[in-house]
Amino acid sequence: MDVRIIAATNKDLKQEMDEGWFREDLYYRLNVIPVHVPPLRERTEDIPLLVEDFVEELAGDSGVARKSVAQEVIPVLQRQPWPGNVRELKNFIERLVILVPDAVIDLCHLPESFLQSTPQATGSRAMEQTTFKEAKAQFEKDYLRKKLEENNWNISQTAGVIGLERSHLHRKLKAYGVEQPKGEE
């Protein structure tokens, strides 16, 4: 009988063996061709390609219309630690493909819990802008959207919390094109 075994683990088997938690003879039998695959958080440059592939695959498998992911979403996905690695990313993209009714998955479609757990979420898109004026505008837009979400999109309440006149807040929202996402009304 000719048998090949392919085994995978997230443990350092050499260390486990040294500490007495893994059998030495089994380690040497399995360790013929070791392949180290770094976690997704160490190869964030793969995320755009993986996302594109998952979106295409899921559209074909589930019969959902082909969707795309907005470019501004990719840096947010790249800042996530993804402890579940590629499987976690795929599940997250699948959830978005199924639940987002629009053809383009945008930042406004990302769950608030996900955005809050993303490291460096505050002001990071502003830092990607070229000029100070663009960065300031991006920060204001993100700040206003976040405060509106915190206040259930109540304009008067939000204006009071952030210390702006209601009419001034309305003008800023219109200028930045900030609108309440459909389904949250």
Instruction: Name beta bridge partners: 69.
Output: 105
**Count of domains observed in the chain:** 3
61 and 110 both lie in a single domain: yes
Q: How confident is the model at residue 46 (pLDDT cuts 50, 70, 90)?
A: very high
Give per-residue pLDDT as tens, 128-165: 667 888 888 888 888 888 888 888 889 999 999 898 89
DSSP of 151-165: TTT-HHHHHHHHT--
97 and 155 both lie in a single domain: no
Say yes or no to pLDDT of 182 above 70.
Answer: no
Main-chain phi, psi angles of 105, to 5 degrees: -85, 115
Which of 17, 40, 163 has the alpha carbon at shortest distance from 92?
A: 40
Say yes or no to pLDDT of 62 above 80.
Answer: no
Is 184 contained in some domain? no
For 106, residues 6+ apart whose C-beta sits below 8 A from its C-beta are: 70, 72, 73
Is 182 contained in some domain? no
Helix, strand or coil, per DSSP, at residue 118: coil
**Which of the listed residues 117, 144, 163 is the one where a domain comes to its end?**
117
CA distance linking residue 17 with residue 25, whole number of Å? 10
- pTM of this prediction? 0.56
CA distance linking residue 70 with residue 75, whole number of Å? 10
For 62, other C-beta atoms within 10 Å of its C-beta total 11
CA distance linking residue 148 with residue 161, whole number of Å? 10
Residue 150's domain comprises: 124-176
Is 163 contained in some domain? yes
72 and 138 both lie in a single domain: no
Which CATH number do you get for residue 73? Answer: 1.10.8.60
Judge whether 78 and 44 are in contact, CB under 8 Å. Answer: yes
Give per-residue pLDDT as tens, 97-111: 988 888 999 998 998
Q: How confident is the model at residue 181 (pLDDT cuts 50, 70, 90)?
A: confident
How big is the chain by its Cα radius of gyration, in Å? 23
Is 29 contained in some domain? yes
State the burial class of residue 142 (Cβ atoms within 10 Å of its Cβ: 0-12, 13-18, 19+).
buried
153 and 167 both lie in a single domain: yes
CA distance linking residue 56 with residue 106, whole number of Å? 16
